[in-house]
Amino acid sequence: MERRVVITGMGVVAPTACSLEGFEQALRAGRSGIRYQPELEALQFSCCIAGKPGLDEGLIARYFDPLELRGFNSSGITYGMIAGMQAWEDAGLPVNLDGPDWDSGTIFGIGSTSVEKFREAIYKIDEGQVRRLGSNSVPQVMASGISAYLGGKLGLGNQVSTNASACTTGTESLLLCYERIKSGRAERMLSGSTSDSGPYIWAGFDAMKVCTYRHNDQPERGSRPMSATASGFVPGSGAGALVLESMESAQRRGARIYAEVCGGNINSGGQRGEGSMTAPNPEAVQRCITQALADAAISPGVVDAINGHLTATTKDALEIQNWCIALGRKGSDFPYIGALKSHIGHCLSASGSIECVAAVLQLQKGFLFPNLNCEDLHPGITEWIDASRVPQQLMEKELNILAKASFGFGDVNACVLLRRYAA
């Protein structure tokens, strides 16, 4: 018998805040986390702005002991560890010191493997200093490093894995964890994803000319999803984490329940038709949404809001069109839609998880965050939906059903349906 799955804990390390409370405050205020990055200008990047979390030593020391920090050099694992541990604490779950927790696991995604540590290791090898690599190089550069670190910290005895599907990673992680609990193979799963910071991550996108070249002198104006004057995305980084749990387990221990995961879908356009390595196949996107609705047994007409992928590239208008076709809704009948990347930039493999945290907060607290920098909506968007469906100011509004989707390089897609929990 399939079980109901709920969200009982969340954590976030984002360009706007490194705590759940601070993140919600920034969401409501429409506060941008985009800042000028001098090192990018020094390296002759076209885009010299980015969204980068501001971590202090005290916060890092709370989750890493001094021995762990010796030779440690991975922003992605740091972000993911902090967000994951925050989510576990927020769920009110203990850390089992006596032995493995056989009922709990994690599928925690990442896009690249600790590029800072990898670069450091390459230089040492080239200089003939292999013996100076240290004992923690392998766990930092292996693809599953983030889930391995979290699994050890929390004593997880169920599945401990890392997924990687470009910008779809975080939403895919949530759905993989959901399926494991729904099928009875776990009681609790820590879902999430993380992304490294810095020029070694962002340079390739700058070279592809998909990052904005404008607003280096006005960073907060740079990330412009759905805008007619958008010129590409602003790179970002961070991590988001969510504890998923069976309804029975959550109720048995009296846990606070944020929202229910109703279902979803993961697919690919096969890089066929209009799909490619960097462009989505519209048919696949539409199928992903419609099949997610079917899996969740939710009618398109009751979706109150969408947390879109919406990156501030030329594909934003196509995404809106795909949503309209998949839902059979347009104009003023279209759900409210939000683009969190206007606040934090495109956090790459971490984007789905951070945006899922925002979506759950919106459901639980009943609000729509303001979309920034889209006062000049793209005509390809207003052709399909009414401007009123793109809130530009904070709206206090009770929401019942919210759809979250992510679309990534490789023509991959994921969509999840979330429901407000009413005890």
Whether 236 and 267 map to the same domain: the answer is no
Which structure tokens are listed for 157?
């005895």
- pLDDT, one tens digit for every residue, the chain (423 residues): 689 999 999 999 999 999 999 999 999 999 999 999 999 999 999 999 999 999 999 999 999 988 888 878 889 999 999 999 999 999 999 998 889 999 999 999 999 876 776 667 666 766 777 666 666 666 667 789 999 999 999 999 999 999 999 999 999 999 999 999 999 999 999 999 999 999 989 999 999 999 999 999 999 999 999 999 999 999 999 999 999 999 999 999 999 999 999 999 999 999 999 999 999 999 999 999 999 999 999 999 999 999 999 999 999 999 999 999 999 999 999 999 999 999 999 999 999 999 999 999 999 999 999 999 999 999 999 999 999 999 999 999 999 999 999 999 999 999 999 999 987
Q: Is residue 35 a contact partner of residue 235, using CB atoms and an 8 Å limit?
A: no
Whether 242 and 289 map to the same domain: the answer is no
In 3D space, the residue among 371, 395, 387, 405 whose CA is nearest the CA of residue 32 turns out to be 371
* CATH code, 192: 3.40.47.10
Whether 331 and 247 map to the same domain: the answer is no
Whether 41 and 62 map to the same domain: the answer is yes
Which of these three, 228, 259, 290, is where a domain ends? 259
Give per-residue pLDDT as tens, 7-36.
999 999 999 999 999 999 999 999 999 999
Whether 339 and 392 map to the same domain: the answer is yes
Residue 68: per-residue pLDDT: 84
Whether 268 and 252 map to the same domain: the answer is no
Whether 50 and 163 map to the same domain: the answer is yes
Residue 354 CA, chain-centre distance (Å), reads 4
Whether 194 and 305 map to the same domain: the answer is no
User: At residue 305, what are phi and psi to the nearest 5 degrees?
Assistant: -155, 160
Which of these three, 243, 259, 275, is where a domain ends? 259
Whether 24 and 12 map to the same domain: the answer is yes
In 3D space, the residue among 287, 283, 246, 245 whose CA is nearest the CA of residue 266 turns out to be 287
In 3D space, the residue among 293, 201, 179, 188 whose CA is nearest the CA of residue 241 turns out to be 188
Q: Is the CA virtual torsion 263, 266, 267, 271 positive or negative? A: positive
Whether 226 and 306 map to the same domain: the answer is no
Please give the tally of structural domains in the chain.
Answer: 2
Whether 189 and 297 map to the same domain: the answer is no
Domain of 209? 5-259
Whether 267 and 195 map to the same domain: the answer is no
Which of these three, 259, 291, 316, is where a domain ends? 259
